[in-house]
Amino acid sequence: MRLVSLNLNGIRSAATKGLHAWVESVRADCMGVQELKAQAPDLSPALSVIDGMQGFFHHAQKKGYSGVGVYSRVTPSEVIVGLGDEEFDAEGRYLEARYDSPHRRLSIISCYFPSGSSSEERQQAKYRFLARIAPHLRALRQSGREFVLMGDVNIAHREADLKNWKGNLKNSGFLPEERAWMTTLLTPLDQGGGGLVDVYRHLHPDSTDASYTWWSNRGQARAKNVGWRIDYHLATPGLAETARAASIYKDSWFSDHAPLTIDYGYAL
């Protein structure tokens, strides 16, 4: 099972920068995308199905904003759109594709966490989202369902996850409260945590500069590799243990984010 997570920073923009050719070369089984920045009428057939994968989407009410999707080569048994939270469902932040059978329960989730960098108001919204999604994911975990959440979490967890960590200690994305939230999410269930695994870090515990997935458009950040690792695969332990290889594609650019691809020894 090959899974890709990619913040598109606008699906129509990414499509003009070689997205289709790259996706066709990867042969993913599922691709979780974030920041569609498009409504349903904006998605042409070429954007609704990519490389034979059918797209399922959660659009924001506001035009040109947010939105997530899952492209899947296998038809899901069920698609859940939204968290059931009025504030954040209006922003198009969560889609869960389920692949259930009599023998197992599996979900592939695409999620776009709010950014708090633009204002204190948006930072408070980010904290509300973290408070809302943590028990949701914990309940999924406790139910015995295997799942992986792919997405732009907008949090760098550790000092190794961004170039200039000292200069960002008071900035959204690396605040102590955000990092503590992530630590709790990755703490085992029997220790009071969310019981999930950061799959990239499971495979590459010591990676630093090579791990970044986002770069600011300012100050030649990409050329200087002044990046952040804010895109994740967060999986249940049973699924994470089957992870075999991870890669971050940086040879060409469809977005200000790079795609994160992970192969699992698990079948849809």
Q: What is the largest CA-CA distance in the chain?
A: 53
From residue 126, give the alpha-carbon distance in Å to each of 109, 118, 131, 257, 264. 19, 11, 9, 20, 30
Alpha helices for the chain (secondary structure H): 11-15, 19-26, 45-48, 86-89, 120-142, 176-185, 199-203, 237-240
Of residues 8, 9, 5, 7, the one with CA closest to residue 28: 5
* β-sheet bridge partners, residue 49: 54
**Cα–Cα distance for residue pair 62/59, rounded to 1 Å:** 8
- Decide if 68 contacts 94 (C-beta within 8 A): yes
Two tokens, residue 23: 């996706």
Q: How many domains does the chain have?
A: 1
Q: How confident is the model at residue 219 (pLDDT cuts 50, 70, 90)?
A: confident
User: pLDDT, tens digit, for every residue of 63-100?
Assistant: 999 999 999 999 999 999 999 999 999 999 999 999 99
- Decide if 32 contacts 76 (C-beta within 8 A): no
pLDDT, the chain, mean: 97
- Decide if 162 contacts 212 (C-beta within 8 A): yes
Q: Is the pLDDT of residue 164 over 90?
A: yes
**Cα–Cα distance for residue pair 246/209, rounded to 1 Å:** 15
Please enumerate, by residue number, every residue annotated as part of a binding site for Mg(2+): 7, 35, 152, 154, 256-257
Active site residues: 112, 152, 257
**Cα–Cα distance for residue pair 152/135, rounded to 1 Å:** 19
Q: Is the pLDDT of residue 178 over 90?
A: yes
**Cα–Cα distance for residue pair 262/243, rounded to 1 Å:** 7
Q: What is the mean pLDDT of residues 111-135?
A: 97
Q: How confident is the model at residue 218 (pLDDT cuts 50, 70, 90)?
A: confident
**Cα–Cα distance for residue pair 10/30, rounded to 1 Å:** 19
Two tokens, residue 238: 């049973």
User: pLDDT, tens digit, for every residue of 7-61?
Assistant: 999 999 999 999 999 999 999 999 999 999 999 999 999 999 999 999 999 999 9
pTM for this entry: 0.97
Domain residue limits at 15: 2-264
Two tokens, residue 36: 């569609």
CATH number, domain of 229, equals: 3.60.10.10
Two tokens, residue 117: 């960098």
User: Residue 150 phi/psi, 5° resolution?
Assistant: -110, 135
- Ramachandran quadrant class, 105 (left: phi over 0; alpha: psi -120 to 50; beta: rest): beta
